[in-house]
Chains A and B, each alone.
Chain A
Amino acid sequence: GQQVMQIPQYQHVQEGEDFTTYCNSSTTLSNIQWYKQRPGGHPVFLIQLVKSGEVKKQKRLTFQFGEAKKNSSLHITATQTTDVGTYFCAGPGANNLFFGTGTRLTVIP
């Protein structure tokens, strides 16, 4: 079946350091989505990437979709305490949405 793996599972950074999480799919994806879940909260949509090699930015967040459309990354520049949470990538199946295992980010003030 379709699998979406994420690394690392956990990441602790000092405030101001950069952070990157990587997502790898066993199959080619038509698109990929990224979500953020704050502690105790529910996942919230951040962005969707569709095109091969696509790069999108949201303030300090940079999202990339690989050329082969099987991998993606999320990079946060100069982390802040508000970035704390778990970041998930998600890829579409025929009728559903498969989520990666997530990367839990802790930011140390």
Chain B
Amino acid sequence: DAGITQSPRHKVTETGTPVTLRCHQTENHRYMYWYRQDPGHGLRLIHYSYGVKDTDKGEVSDGYSVSRSKTEDFLLTLESATSSQTSVYFCAISANRGSRSTEAFFGQGTRLTVV
């Protein structure tokens, strides 16, 4: 397996609290992604990064922010958690993108429950 670690693996939090999920990679891949997975919706892209301090929004970015201060770390923050953000969150990395895209490697996932 590729060197990609998500933390925490499980978290229960209260509505209205901020939450930060961490993705750490040891592959030195340029591209990093945060997805959420919900029944019937597959994997939906939240935010992605194409380099240190270079990030952009995905299709479901409202209520989320990200930061990438180092190549190896990509943080996802729920600014004020809501029950609709209860989901399984996956981080992924890839070496290339677009027409030169190569396989993406996924972390083990974080199961987040907002009560």
Is there contact, CB below 8 Å, between A92 and B106? no
- Residue A33 CB within 8 A of the other chain: yes
Smallest CB gap from B50: residue in A: A95
From A14-22, A54-62, A75-83, A96-104, give the one contacting chain B. A96-104
Smallest CB gap from B96: residue in A: A92
- Residue B84 CB within 8 A of the other chain: no
- Residue B48 CB within 8 A of the other chain: yes
* Neighbour of A97 across the interface among B40, B41, B99, B104, CB < 8 A: B104
Is there contact, CB below 8 Å, between A100 and B98? no
- Residue B74 CB within 8 A of the other chain: no
Is there contact, CB below 8 Å, between B33 and A96? yes
Is there contact, CB below 8 Å, between B45 and A96? yes
A interface residues, Cβ below 8 angstroms from B = 1, 6, 9, 30-31, 33, 35, 42-45, 48, 88, 90, 92-102
B interface residues, Cβ below 8 angstroms from A = 31, 33, 35, 40-45, 48, 50, 56, 58-59, 90, 92, 94, 97-99, 101-109
**With A9-B40, A101-B40 given, can you name 19 additional A-B contacts, CB distance below 8 Å?**
A30-B98, A31-B101, A33-B101, A42-B107, A42-B108, A45-B104, A48-B103, A90-B104, A92-B97, A94-B97, A94-B98, A96-B45, A96-B58, A96-B97, A97-B92, A97-B97, A99-B35, A99-B45, A102-B42
